[in-house]
Amino acid sequence: MSKWTLILLIYGFTIGCKSEKKASPQLNIILFGYDSIACYYGNSTELTDLRYGKITDPLFMDTILTNARDRRPALIVLKPGDGAAVLGNWEHLDTLFKINNFENRKIDTLDEKEQKFFNTTSIIPWLKEHEKPLKLFLPKDENEHVVVPSDKTLVVLILNEQEAYAYNGTAVKTGRKYTYEELGLYLGTKKSRSGFLVVLKPGEKCSYKSAVDMLDLMTIHRVKNYRMESPTKEEQTLINELLETKAE
């Protein structure tokens, strides 16, 4: 998995790549607010395979991912409604589809039929009207990267649903283990620093729930700049050692 490094504006965000495989119609995901979503294939008239669920429900999200792998949608369209926390939810979903190798993604407004059927409106026109960008470290060009001084970077290795290992800069072995609560308190002391960046690195055996919980932690503690990428070989070795030590 390649690094994620691009800061984007929420409107105008589109990701795409060519595929030689025959793909199914696009997968549409409506974000209602909090953690509730609806998913369907095709157009808003047919609403094929319509499902409702929560992004915090691992079984529901596993089903959505499994169906998407089988149907190989030509495009995944995320459509934020006007409910609470839809931007954070959009970020979580975009992260999820990225790490599962769904490259053809975009963000869009709800059409009239969707707004009427789902009884919600789109937040995107409001964002455009206020011309306020949402700064996110999200994938677009795999080769682009943002250079951040190492002394302002906190690397978080996600171990499981309760613990993480964090270190500053490039000295991997100088860090320590944290519970999510402890890490949240630590982030509270660092987030105000100019240029502070958190790099989240889920291990090979990290669950979807663990990744989502860690992203929630960034939102809860108002960390402005963070991105997710795969661990290096040295970091993955350390993750394995820490997990094995706990299992003994």
Give the residue with greater pLDDT, 54 vs 218. Answer: 54
SS3 call for 6: strand
Mean pLDDT for all residues in the chain: 78
Range ranked top by mean pLDDT from 50-54, 55-59, 75-79, 149-153: 50-54
Single-letter code of the amino acid located at 67: N
User: What six digits make up the tokens of 113?
Assistant: 């039929």
**Beta carbons of 52 and 64 less than 8 angstroms apart:** no
| Sheet architecture: strand order including 176-179 | 176-179, 163-168, 153-158, 197-202, 226-228
All structural domains of the chain, each given as residue ranges with its CATH number in brackets, are 6-138 (3.30.420), 150-247 (3.30.420.270)
Q: Please enumerate in sequence order all residues whose Cβ is within 8 A of that of 168, keeping only pairs 6 or more positions apart, or say none.
A: 150, 151, 153, 154, 155, 174, 175
Going by pLDDT thresholds of 50, 70 and 90, the confidence category of residue 23 is: low
Pairwise pLDDT comparison (155 vs 91), residue with the higher score: 155
Of the CA atoms within 13 Å of residue 162, those in its CB half-sphere come to: 2
Between 203 and 236, whose confidence is greater? 236
Say whether 137 sits in a helix, a strand or coil: strand
Tell which phi-psi region holds residue 72, choosing left (phi > 0), alpha (psi between -120 and 50) or beta: left
Closest CA to 34 of 97, 80, 78, 65: 80
- pLDDT, tens only, 193-227: 677 889 999 888 787 778 878 888 888 888 888 88
What does the pLDDT read at residue 144? Answer: 44
pLDDT at 182 over 50: yes
Helical segments of the chain, H only: 58-71, 86-99, 112-118, 124-130, 180-190, 208-220, 233-247
Cβ density class 197-228: b for 16+ within 10 Å, e for less: bbbbbbbeebebebbbbbbbbbeebebebbbb
As a whole-number percent, the residues of the chain with pLDDT over 90 amount to: 32
Please tell me the pTM assigned to this model: 0.47
Cα gap 185→130, rounded to integer Å: 33
